[in-house]
Structure 1
Amino acid sequence: MTLSLFDQFMSPWFMGVPLLAISLIFPWILLPMPTLRWLNSRLLTVQNWFIGRFTHQTFLPLNVEGHKWALLLTSLMLFLITLNMLGLLPYTFTPTTQLSLNLGLAVPLWLATVIIGMRNQPTAALGHLLPEGTPTLLIPVLIIIETISLFIRPFALGVRLTANLTAGHLLIQLVSMAVMVLLPLMPTVAALTAILLIMLTLLEIAVAMIQAYVFVLLLSLYLQENV
């Protein structure tokens, strides 16, 4: 029973082809594409409005130097949203339930923000390791604590995304198994449980979007400290 619950988080293979690679390519089909028509379609208009609002809200507190990351972080947010929602479709796989993939996204981007801070303003970047007005006796301890907190940031990004999606998918699978078991025994209870399953699926869609936004928002906050 335990293995069957966690089989959904294993990277499946089909005819020797890893479906993880295919699922990573698929989200790009859903991104808005330019059109040759004079007027955009309703879908393209909504997509452009959403991207514009997200970019405006994310980069509002950043200075001009941080706006260079607009294309990268906006594309990352759209990419994560589509990857997070892949697991809600039948016979698909959610790549972002794999910690290795999330760390592969979080570590290079976090390291890029740190390198930018060290290159452009090394004094201010190193100043974050020691708050102003710290007593002399606490200086070594605080430097060690702030250094650990700095290096734990990418792992917090990856673990947060993995844990939230894993917990949601496990809960959906458990409730769906309960519906299948209760259906021949107590149809009324099974129907009520199915309603709960639908509500849980809607909640998981919201979680998939929110976690992608939180991932990018935290990266923008790390960038704000270094530009």
Structure 2
Amino acid sequence: MMLSFFDQFMSPTYLGVPLMALAILLPWTLYPAPTSRWLNNRLISLQGQFMGTFTQQIFLPLNPGGHKWAVMLTSLMIFLISINMLGLLPYTFTPTTQLSLNMGFAVPLWLATVIIGMRNQPTASLGHLLPEGTPGPLIPILIIIETISLFIRPLALGVRLTANLTAGHLLIQLIATAVYVLLPLMPVVAILTGAVLFLLTLLEVAVAMIQAYVFVLLLSLYLQENI
């Protein structure tokens, strides 16, 4: 039976039960919880240092009002990095290749930033829809364009994460299939293709981390506009 390359992006099921929830909950079991001791082990120390550095970096340009989002966005960053990296292991499933999951993260968080802006500074939030000094005849057109650009933000967040991870996984599977087919026919070409596959895998590791960072960074920029 011939399988499609896109079968790897189907949500796995066991006895008819989707395993999406298990794939989402698993990363949290991999991180040790801090203890009340004076000294922690190396893993907990590195984990805390990474969280502190990321939080300081992402929230440095934000007003103090946006610092309340530190725990949420830092947790989201760690979660996305974890499931993106775990999805690169063989015989695993990457939940973030599902647009439904990514939109489930993007839409509520984007909507929360918009609601905060409308509640705290409605004039400034609505002022973003019309640049200052716009000629009169262009006002309706620019308002429509800016409104569309505002509502397309969560779609761009979800589609960007989905498309980058899906394209990378698909390319890895295509090249791995080529190596498997070429190995008995042209071993030298297969070895060279395998080297390309190794470099592509390293690139996908970087993409898995960068896309998680970009997702959270854009959310922080949307938050900065509304606080």
Name the TM-score, length of structure 1 as normaliser: 0.96
Partner of 1:217: 217
User: Aligned equivalents of 1:201 and 1:219: distance in 2?
Assistant: 27
Partner of 1:93: 93
Aligned length: 227
Which letter does structure 2 place at the counterpart of 1:209?
M
Partner of 1:158: 158
Which aligned runs of 4 or more in structure 1 are off by greater than 4 angstroms? none
Partner of 1:114: 114
Q: Shift in Å at residue 49 of structure 1?
A: 1.2
Q: Which runs of 5+ in 2 are unaligned?
A: none
User: Aligned equivalents of 2:87 and 2:117: distance in 1?
Assistant: 37
User: Aligned equivalents of 1:224 and 1:98: distance in 2?
Assistant: 28
Partner of 2:58: 58
User: Aligned equivalents of 1:66 and 1:37: distance in 2?
Assistant: 31
Q: CA RMSD in A?
A: 1.4
Identity of matched residues, %: 77
Partner of 1:12: 12
User: Aligned equivalents of 1:31 and 1:112: distance in 2?
Assistant: 28
User: Aligned equivalents of 1:109 and 1:201: distance in 2?
Assistant: 31
Which letter does structure 1 place at the counterpart of 2:207?
V
Name the TM-score, length of structure 2 as normaliser: 0.96
Q: Shift in Å at residue 89 of structure 1?
A: 1.1
Classify the secondary structure of the residue corresponding to 1:131: coil
Kindly indicate whether the alpha-carbon contact (under 8 Å) linking 1:32 and 1:48 is maintained by their aligned counterparts in 2: no
Kindly indicate whether the alpha-carbon contact (under 8 Å) linking 1:55 and 1:70 is maintained by their aligned counterparts in 2: yes
Moved more, 152-161 or 9-18: 9-18
> Which whole-Å deviations, capped at 9, do the CAs of 1:94-152 have from their partners, x for residues lacking one?
00001111001000000000000000110011010011111111111110000000000
Distance 1:2-1:72 versus aligned 2 partners, 3 A rule: farther
Which letter does structure 1 place at the counterpart of 2:87?
G
